[in-house]
Structure 1
């Protein structure tokens, strides 16, 4: 991923230096397992341990990376190039590295470790977003605004309800991410076609335990890519939730709506041409990145079906989509956290917009009260719609006043009952109950 959308924590995780460090760990732990099984002589094991410990603890240098790349130009095989460089570092004892293993034993186990760490970072990001959503939901729990369906005024809600809805969706995202984390946390050291022909299951178990992974119950040359597809799907859905929130903020920041707005810092500029502009650039950026994140899912799905016990068509794809997707997801959540934390809310504009339709948003309640009093639903709907259309067409009319004056309605409803119909608190009487279900359930 380009530096613009990469945070340092992900840049370090997906760096060439970290990849080689984990490759080295996998190879060393496999060698150590063989040593414990009596296959590697004490002297050779100690040499290997002494030579590799600095690289496992401190990582590989730029010089090491260049040397591996130099060897790969000749071998046309990155794993062999790496092993060749380790042999240069270790000397003759290096013959005990990679015993009975295939390249994918090292590659897939390393990828599992990296993807596990990346997901753990993303889950922590998500928890921080949830914390902000919860705080702001309670802050605006009783802040009245109009609910909109099809973009048109519907019935009263509160801004806190909107935030609570997003919080609940993030809870579901967290559950999906945790499931993906579990599914991806499997390594394999089972040889060329998964039969353990030249390396016993004990080696696999040892390596996986040392790396905080579990042995895949069964594999062929690789860990099966449905695990990767599930992982990428969870990120794609997460990105879509972020886009949903960002899209709503963009709508609420429209000039003619202006119920909420991204924080506009001192010295910030909105347009090179129009000095007055205050654009929802963070939200727009998140919507764009969500498209990118979703786009990584299709290649991951296409990687599931490989030839026989494995082909290499998935490899080039994963080298791009996995680091990019996790890096983008991390960036998006960090940006969303800041956006929500600093979001400027305008309750007075919410109230003003709520009153724009002069009482029309209470139409359903009028209809329901009439049917409760004995009028047929069809007749009640007809009368109420007739009055609402008059208000739509004449901006000087008020729906409540028309209801109070209509003799057809007054036969069924008293003035006190009509006043109760237009009481906003009636619509919001279950807010506390909803919050209890979301935040305490």
Structure 2
């Protein structure tokens, strides 16, 4: 057999032995980068071909949920949020990863699970087994305009209280000049206004349900939190706040129109980037505010890679999953993009110890790390609860319930409801959810 024929035969045999994995992922920038770097994965694992299904978040969640719940097996890997992981794990929809790390000791050694931030690992662990690994993680923090604070003679403490936030807002609020004391999410949604408001409820000593799954939304803690939120945003927030979510407030803050903003840690990079922010030299950073208790003041979220139970290519999927969330992958992104500021944040201790990353994100990297580490999905409330989650309740029904309560909260902010009316409607909705879901005995 001549050399050309031998090469052709080798290629054919290689194709015949190759496996193909299908990955469903959200179309955010970090995941698009992962898709573009697939050829680097193929260099390491030439016998594994990768097919991508990239979708907007809502469509992705719907498609993956239907697929894994039915066991259809369309996807071998899926991008799954921190909210879904414990729910899907308990439903038996995800493959536990702990046995796979045991099966591949070489991968386990190079991957180094101990390097993954403890709080991030904990949120993805159910019954002692890991069910997903993080690609990107975030918490929440306080941003403020140092120039506005200096002009008003104010000093932001490292750990502000909500009462201090209100006082500061009153001092820098100047709508005649297009400056608002504080910008907070008002757009209804379980992942919009309720993400922020639920952390406020936590620090005011509130919880969604007691240990018997009786709703707790008509309690003094919830009333204090909602009254405070409504008054704060009405007095010192921008007009039309019920239409402002993360994106709208990011724009306002980056244009110098907000004295303060409490939101996701991922915004630190945007506000520090001259191409997207006018306040790069005046933006300051502090911890997320606390109320009567520090419990649950900063939320936790992550996008993660998980293997559906219905996959037929478990080993190949595991190899991609560990490659795309590894320390080496993070370095590869930095090299490809030419800056460490662009790497997936919030997942590994080594990222925050890296001198290059600290140089690129030094003003906020330490605070982001401590915020993520302190966000505990298992201890987010003053009193005990039967659920996990900081800014959400990890039950399937919460997407609908959280959005419904978010609409009532927005109604109280816009004047459609009084706070008491909004709380009664919210309490009734929460109890109805608990009864119909079979949580209440």
* Range of TM-score over shorter length: under 0.3
Structure having the larger proportion of residues in helix: 1
User: Whose strand proportion is higher, 1 or 2?
Assistant: 2
Larger radius of gyration: 1
Normalised to the residue count of structure 1, the TM-score between the two structures is 0.23
